[in-house]
Structure 1
Amino acid sequence: MPGSGQPAWWLQLLSLATLAWLAQRASSWRRAAFLGWTFATAWLCGTFWWLFISMHVYGGLPSPLAAAAVLALAAFLALYCAAAMGVFAALHRRAPAWSAPLFAALWLLAELLRATWFTGFPWGASGYAHVDGPLAVLAPWTGVYGIGAAAALLAFALSLALRPRTWRSWRYWTALAAASGLLAACNMAATSSPAGGDQQRLSVALLQGNIPQDEKFQGGTGIPLALNWYGQQLGASAAALVVAPETAIPLLPQQLPDAYMKAVRERFAGGSQAALVGLPLGSLQDGYTNSAMGFKPGSEAYRYDKHHLVPFGEFIPPLFRWFTDMMNIPLGDFNRGSLRQPTFDWQGQRLAPNICYEDLFGEEIGAQFADAARAPTILVNLSNIAWFGNSVAIDQHLHISRMRALEFRRPMIRATNTGATAIIDHRGRVTHALPRHTRGVLTGEVQGQTAITAYAWWVSRLGLWPMWLLALGTVAAAWAWQRRRGGPADAAAA
């Protein structure tokens, strides 16, 4: 994504096409693996450089160590791409007919490995660059990883254009033009089709407190500001649903001033309004959770506990206690909630909360779509990414939420501390948004949806296994083909 924070699908295709061209020309699999590792390290550093802000500015880690930590994480995650390019170089010469699908399959495997191993860190997966591009039409069918694989296939085709013989092949250009035209037509059809599902609309008020991260958990500044401002907005809003962001209330209920939670409960005990509020729950004995509580008339308080926790920020990986002890991160070791938790039902809508980083894992959100009668009609994200300053992380997170809206054809409403607080419709379009790093209330209406997309159907039952099997099957077929042809062409060089 460029500096403006907007996705550039064409730039992603060009950069990946360059990698494909280099991998095809590599003298050995080792050379190709090194090129893949260098490419991915640079790409990932540019994707999540803002982790430096959380570790140094707010966590207190010395700047050289914070920079080294970002580089080390990128270099480690780049190993998946290195392995993919190494295997590609070892196989593609003896199986030229398989080169394009082999490249796409190995790219897909690298992204799946990054998304799932060691709890997964798929931030910046290549498919997100296409949220506004022609490949976005694939989202409700294949999800973000299928888009990434399709992009890799197109990138490989573009890399072939650098060969002189390809420029003279009318078949190549006809196929490329036909594929581009088909994708453009599908995209136009998808964006112009009428809305389906529920016609009932829900009025919402999304709160953005803009509490500075370095004050958020301070007793003399951020805590009283948060309690006063969010308390006032919860009491004053006239919307059917009021949503306050992740840890909007920065204290455990037992630490709050007398009668604070009682006042919130009583505010929504009658009438025609409900609220979802982010706050930590638990105790020293039972452990803590990063949670959201829901309040509505005639019902006990609803509770959602975050399931997919952030490494180092919300749980401490084995052998890394020394690293987290060097930083000042409050409540940094949470318990996990279950994968499938009930929706918050209100005014005919089934609202499915997810907290911050969780909306990065579409396959986990998709687990709630197995039963169409109980599937969410609206997705709700509660976030606080003030940890990362006024950086591109805000824009990236918004595009991640937009991709989830496209995959499930569900609106996504986002209440955040510093941005991006927004209403996203079921086609992934931002219809309302607050300026980031401002304090305010975003009001609007959102229309729930009930239709189940193909992606929601298969991912709710099979997870990401269809993607794994497709990628592994393609690699196995290419390997079997080259075995029949007498082994890798560069075996001597290897």
Structure 2
Amino acid sequence: MGDHRLSAGWRAVLGGVLAGLAPSLGGPLLMLPALALLWSFAERTRWCAVWGLLAVLVSHAWLLSLHPLTWMGVPALLSLPVAISLWLSCGSCAGALLALWSLVLQRCRRWFPRWAPWWLALVLAVIWAWAELVLSGSPLFWIGVGGSTLPWDLPLAGLSRWFGSGGLVVVQLMWAWWICGLVEHRADNRRAANRRGLWIGFGSLLLAHGLGAVLLATTPPVTGALSMAVWQPAVPTRKKLDPEQQRQLPQAVLAALQGAEGEHVDALLAPEGLLPSRWRMPQGAPPVPLISGGFRWVQGQQRSALLLFSPGAERPDPLLDKHRLVPIGEWIPPLPGGLTAGLSAVGGLHPGEASRLFSVFDSPAAGAICYEIADGSALALATAEGAEWLLSIANLDPYPRQLQQQFLALAQLRAIESGRDLLSIANTGPTALISADGHVERLLPPMEAGLATVMVQRRETMSLYSWLVSKSR
């Protein structure tokens, strides 16, 4: 890095690829070298953009699994180009953001020449963390530095109980800056200063992991529990709207309810978007409450929602509406006339309220529908408002297991941040229970239909991160 034996261009390529692989293959073990490489050319805007472009293209390669898009109304000849364009657009956005970050660094050096190097690095790390938090609530789905920590480094992730994913971003960027400095100054004659920097860096590594481990070991006390059955139908999204599949749906729901009845659970939970609007329970359904993703109409607007079907009730009770809609798939951005025709198989959905708090069986909870799981601050706020457990429902088909792993890592981080158990139910997976200390219990294998039972612990004590989020609103 520092001796320039490897050119800035090659460092950008290597660092970007390592950063893209980190969420799936090594977490901080790959992310720290990737960020250290980035620091080595941080004032070279073009290569920062290349680093960001490659990082997202590699980490978000699952976007290519959108092809074929014919089920969404996209012509067959345009399907692959559209999928590639979406993938490249996400990478280009990341490249632009990294270029902007580099420009901010250059301006700070010019405007504040007396700033200590470590202080400048800290300011840039905080700016990066703030940007990731903003993106986590945007229409696009991002896997950033904070989300790449898990499942690889559970003790470090424990720090999120205090500082959220943004704190993990700052810590890793500062460690990477330290590594970059060690390499660049390894030939200096200031041995005492270098030795002091080495001890400070390693000391911070030990302190952060030790503190994180302590925080994980001191989870909020349990105040109660809910017994749930979870159903993973594993229905391919491209076939969900087929007439034959729709005819089979009532019997599939009935069979799942009958299976749950034998387990004596409080309710059966099903994934996002399973039931169409105006759905009615099939005749002869067992007296088991069904909590499922579906659709409902509100003043002429269709919403994706979490619905409660109580035994004997004629209509479902809406628990939560999806607030963060998927571009193209659920929500069409403003485009010139004619370009939106036939683009979406769901189409025309409208967002619900921003709050993620709901209540069921006299137990307040926080819900995330699909990639709302990326927005840790929204779930932390709901926890501060009284949520005792977290629920995530999703449909990640037709995406591969790479996305399931990234999704589960984000869910794991949300559980740790809030100090709450999180129950995840998805059409093809991941269906799992994540305890407040980050332990993951996979309930069903991915890509396979099945039914499982689980006990969700309820907790009331608020984490420091949830408190900080509540005070910032």
What TM-score, normalized to structure 1? 0.81
- Corresponding residue of 2:79: 62
Judge conservation of contact 2:24–2:405 (CA < 8 Å) in 1: yes
The 1:454/1:434 distance shift into structure 2, 3 A limit, reads: same
Contact 2:227-2:454 within 8 A present in 1 as well? yes
**Match of residue 427 from structure 2:** 417
Judging changes above 3 Å, is the alpha-carbon distance between structure 1 residues 402 and 323 closer, same or farther for their aligned structure 2 residues? farther
- For 1:102-251, list aligned pairs within 5 A: 102-116=123-137, 119-132=138-151, 133=153, 134-165=155-186, 168=191, 169-193=194-218, 195-220=219-244, 222-237=245-260, 238=263, 239-249=265-275, 251=276
Question: d(CA) in 1 for partners of 2:253 and 2:321?
Answer: 20
For 2:195 and 2:419, the matched residues in 1 are separated by 38
Counterpart among 307, 317, 320 of residue 323 in structure 2: 307
Question: For 1:237-293, what per-residue CA distance to the aligned partner results, in whole angstroms no more than 9, with x for missing partners?
Answer: 0322210111222x222xx5xxx42648x744xxxx53311111128x702110121
C-alpha displacement at 1:446, in angstroms? 1.6
- In structure 1, the residue matched to 2:277 is 252
- Distance in 1 between residues matched to 2:125 and 2:22, nearest whole Å: 27
For the pair 1:383 / 2:394, whether they are aligned, the reply is yes
Q: 1:456 to 1:109 in 2, by over 3 A?
A: closer
Cα offset for 1:201?
2.4
Cα offset, 1:107, TM superposition: 2.2
Structure 1 residue 164, shift from structure 2 partner: 3.0
Residue 245 of structure 1 aligns to a residue whose secondary structure is coil
Q: Does 1:42 align with 2:54?
A: yes
Name the counterpart of 2:353.
338
Q: CA deviation at 1:393?
A: 0.8
CA contact (8 A) 2:303 2:321 kept: yes
In 2, distance between residues paired with 1:326 and 1:66?
A: 16
Partners of 2:40 and 2:131 in 1: how far apart? 18
- 3-state secondary structure, aligned to 1:344: strand
Residues 1:17 and 2:27 aligned together:
no
Alpha-carbon distance in structure 1 between the residues aligned to 2:281 and 2:103: 57
- CA-to-aligned-CA distance 1:157-191 (integer Å, 9 cap, x gap): 11111123477311111101110111121133233
Residue type at the aligned position of 2:301: G
Q: 1:352 to 1:262 in 2, by over 3 A?
A: farther
Q: Which residue does 1:85 correspond to in 2?
A: 102
Equivalent residues, number:
434
Which of the numbers 449, 453, 458 marks the counterpart of 2:468?
458
Instruction: Report Cα offsets for 1:415-469 as digits up to 9, x if no partner.
Output: 1110101111111221233110001012121211111011111212324xxxxxx
Cα distance, 1:144 vs structure 2: 1.0
Contact 2:216–2:416 (CA<8 Å) still a contact in 1? Answer: no
CA distance in 2 between counterparts of 1:310 and 1:400 reads 17
Distance 2:294 2:204 in 1: 48
Change (3 A) 1:2 1:342: closer
Q: Partners in 1 of 2:108 and 2:202 — Cα distance? A: 28
Instruction: Give me the TM-score of the superposition, normalised by structure 2.
Output: 0.84
Contact conserved, 1:378 with 1:410, CA < 8 A, in 2?
Answer: yes
C-alpha distance 3-189 of structure 1, shift in aligned 2 (>3 A): closer
Q: 1:197: how far off?
A: 2.7
- Residue identity opposite 1:432 in structure 2: R
Which structure 1 residue ranges, 4+ long, deviate > 6 Å from structure 2? 297-300
Q: Could you tell me how far apart the structure 2 residues matched to 1:7 and 1:110 are?
A: 23
Q: 1:44: Cα distance to partner?
A: 0.9
Query: 1:307 aligns to what SS in structure 2?
Result: coil
Instruction: Using CA pairs under 8 Å that are at least 6 residues apart, name the structure with larger relative contact order, 1 or 2.
Output: 1
Report the equivalent of 1:354: 368
Distance 2:418 2:23 in 1: 27
Residue 83 of structure 1 deviates from its aligned partner by 0.6
Inter-CA distance 438–186: structure 2 relative to 1 (3 Å threshold): same
Structure 2 partner of 1:316: 332
Question: 2:452 matched to which residue of 1?
Answer: 442
RMSD: 2.6
Encode CA deviations 1:209-262: one digit per residue, 9 max, x unaligned.
010121111112x2233332122102330322210111222x222xx5xxx426
Partner of 2:237, secondary structure, is: coil
Q: Is the 8 A contact 1:370 1:461 kept in 2?
A: no
**Kept in 2: contact 1:421–1:442 (CA 8 A):** no
Q: Output the CA distance in 1 between the equivalents of 2:107 and 2:347.
A: 44
- Kept in 1, the 8 Å contact 2:307–2:317? The answer is yes
What amino acid sits opposite 1:286 in the alignment? Answer: G
Report the secondary structure of 1:377's partner residue: coil
For residues 133 and 439 of structure 2, the distance between their equivalents in structure 1, rounded to whole angstroms, comes to: 26
Specify the alignment match of 2:381 in structure 1.
367
The answer to whether the Cα contact below 8 Å between 2:21 and 2:58 also exists between their aligned partners in 1 is no
Q: CA deviation at 1:317?
A: 1.4
AA partner of residue 332 (structure 2): I
- Provide the secondary structure at the position in 2 that maps to 1:200: strand
Percent of aligned pairs with the same amino acid: 23
